[in-house]
Amino acid sequence: MSFTLYVDPGTCTANGACTTACPEQAITGGYGEIHVIGLDRCTKCLACLSACPTGAIRKAGPIKPRVPTAPVAVGSFGAEDAEGGMRRRRRRGE
């Protein structure tokens, strides 16, 4: 099965373990920022998956969760942001 990797914004503590482990320099984000995996550079070697002490690196199948597209401060991307891409609100009268 095909998959991609992403950083769970609610679990990432921005400790930098994944950026250090990545041999492709595919992960951006400094200390204090939710990290972002650049899928154009990622070779799916899974080094970051085993390096992350908080389990923030996740696999995604065809349906990908909404995550920051660039590094943002830890705590600034909440659960509502993540769910916003998955849910559609029904308007009154529809």
# chain residues binding ligand SF4, by CB under 6 A: 14
8 near ligand SF4, rule: CB under 6 A:
no
Bridge-based pairing of strands 72-73 and 36-37 is: unpaired
Whole-angstrom Cα distance, residue 38 to residue 22? 11
Query: 32 burial class (0-12, 13-18, 19+ CB within 10 angstroms)?
Result: middle
36 near ligand SF4, rule: CB under 6 A:
no
Comparison of 21 and 72: residue with beta carbon closer to ligand SF4: 21
Stretch that binds ligand SF4, among 24-32, 58-66, 68-76, 78-86 (CB under 6 A): 24-32
Q: What is the DSSP string of 29-66?
A: --TTEE-EE-TTT-----HHHHH-TT--EEEE-SSPPP
Comparison of 64 and 78: residue with beta carbon closer to ligand SF4: 64
From the list 17, 78, 84, 10, the residue with the least C-alpha distance to 48 is 17
Stretch that binds ligand SF4, among 6-14, 37-45, 71-79, 82-90 (CB under 6 A): 37-45
Q: Give the shortest CB-41-to-ligand SF4 separation in angstroms.
A: 7
Comparison of 44 and 58: residue with beta carbon closer to ligand SF4: 44
